[in-house]
Amino acid sequence: MNDTTMSTDYYEVLGVARDATEDQIKKAYRKMAMKVHPDVAQTEDAHEKFKQISEAYETLKDPRKRDIYDRGGDPNQAGGFGGAQGFPGGFSQGGFDFTNLVDAMFGGQGSRGPRSRVRRGQDALVRLQLDLAEASFGITKAVRVDTAVLCPVCTGTGSADGGEPTRCTTCHGQGEVTSVQRSFLGDIRSSQPCPACRGYGTVIPNPCHECAGEGRVRSSRSINVKIPAGVATGNRIHLASHGEVGPGGGPAGDLFVELVVRQHDVFRREGDDLEMVVRIPMTAAALGTRVSVQTLASDRPDDDLGPAELEIEVPSGTQSGTRVAVQGEGVPRLRVGGRGDLGVTFMVQTPTRLDDEQRELLRQLAELRDESTAEGHVQKAGKGVFSRLREAFGGHD
């Protein structure tokens, strides 16, 4: 070891205190290794420095070797570092194990071992369109789901004859193979999933012809989904274990049904309230009347949903934009109970076609009301008639 290049005090080499913990030693080594690695530093003494910090780390991370070193002994005695005498752990005259270096620098845990053939399936998401009445009052609807299901031939085993998987002869059941590459540092060894068994460590001698050994196949099926009353666009129904069946016949994931509510020709939903616009003649608005309106319940005839038709009182002198609220005829409140209101906004229609007799009658009315030369009045800023009408039709101020 070159004493003129770097101190042989292992604690000083890594820049840690003599009472440093194992975690502090590991962090210090990672920092130093990234700094002086020959591929990074590219200096003449980089290789020697890297060997020294590796030797220091291999000694101090091992409690037994660290104890020998602290008492003044030689932890390298008799190949105590697992390599030829005089070389740090993992190094040998033929090279070093690249996997050990990566594990030390990035916290790896070494070999991962074979992975399981049986795993949980993924969750699935489907969208379901509803009419406003279906979303408001609830319904049970069938949903088509295209997902992976248990193979009907092998029932998830993946084997055509029901046999058990056998040990892979390529990786000897390890699930990974090691390759060696030459470099200026020596032999670099790296591990990767076994190509023969795809990392499982076992192979199926006679795979099922239906699922090719996966234990599952894709299929379209129908599921009845109960939609509670009061749902809205964006709400999701969670169905546990109705998603994708996992590889190897593993447990199924969950299914999420996302709801999309179509627009209605008459009603507009505002939270738990329903809004509608009713057009009435000018004469009816002036004199007052009663109008019959169809409720949302008429889209789904059911005595439990309320009346399909309501009579609304129109007071005399009603103006365009006047809103009347009918309590309890809106949308059922999800998980809370009760229902919102039905808002009825009146739009007064002015006649556009008049015969001579009608025009004369209106002229006489205007004279009686002293409105023959009436001038318009400017509406002050605020929520007036036009503002209320725009809101009724879904517009904005």
CB-side exposure of 113: number of CA atoms within 13 Å?
3
Using alpha carbons, list the distances in angstroms from residue 393 to 144, 326, 329, 381.
Answer: 35, 18, 19, 20
Within a domain: 50: yes
pLDDT given for residue 61 in this prediction:
86
**Residue that the structure tokens 């069946």 belong to:** 245
Within a domain: 150: yes
Same domain as 306, residue 368: yes
Same domain as 143, residue 18: no
Within a domain: 354: yes
Its pTM stands at 0.63
211 annotated ligand binder: yes
Tell me how far apart the alpha carbons of residues 5 and 48 are, in angstroms, rounded to a whole number: 8
Within a domain: 397: no
197 annotated ligand binder: yes
66 annotated ligand binder: no
Same domain as 386, residue 322: yes
Same domain as 98, residue 27: yes
Same domain as 14, residue 89: yes
373 annotated ligand binder: no
Q: Tens digit of pLDDT for each residue in 182-240?
A: 766 667 778 899 999 999 999 999 999 999 999 999 999 999 999 999 999 999 999 99
pLDDT given for residue 52 in this prediction:
86
- pLDDT of 109 strictly over 50: no
Same domain as 258, residue 116: yes
Q: Provide the CATH number for the domain around residue 148.
A: 2.60.260.20
Within a domain: 2: no
- pLDDT of 370 strictly over 80: yes
380 annotated ligand binder: no
How many domains in the chain? Answer: 4
Same domain as 288, residue 147: no
Tell me how far apart the alpha carbons of residues 165 and 323 are, in angstroms, rounded to a whole number: 73
Tell me how far apart the alpha carbons of residues 133 and 57 are, in angstroms, rounded to a whole number: 71
Same domain as 221, residue 182: no
Same domain as 232, residue 93: no
194 annotated ligand binder: yes
Burial of 355 (0-12, 13-18, 19+ CB in 10 A): exposed
- For 60, phi and psi rounded to 5 degrees? -75, -20
pLDDT interval class at 105 (50, 70, 90) = very low
Same domain as 127, residue 75: no
Domain around 285: 268-392
Q: Provide the CATH number for the domain around residue 74.
A: 1.10.287.110
Same domain as 344, residue 288: yes
Within a domain: 5: no
Instruction: Order across the sheet with 255-261: list the strands.
Output: 124-130, 255-261, 236-239
pLDDT given for residue 388 in this prediction:
57
Q: Tens digit of pLDDT for each residue in 64-89?
A: 888 888 877 777 664 443 333 333 34
Within a domain: 1: no
* Residue type, position 1, single letter: M
Same domain as 291, residue 388: yes
Q: How confident is the prediction for the chain on average, in pLDDT?
A: 83
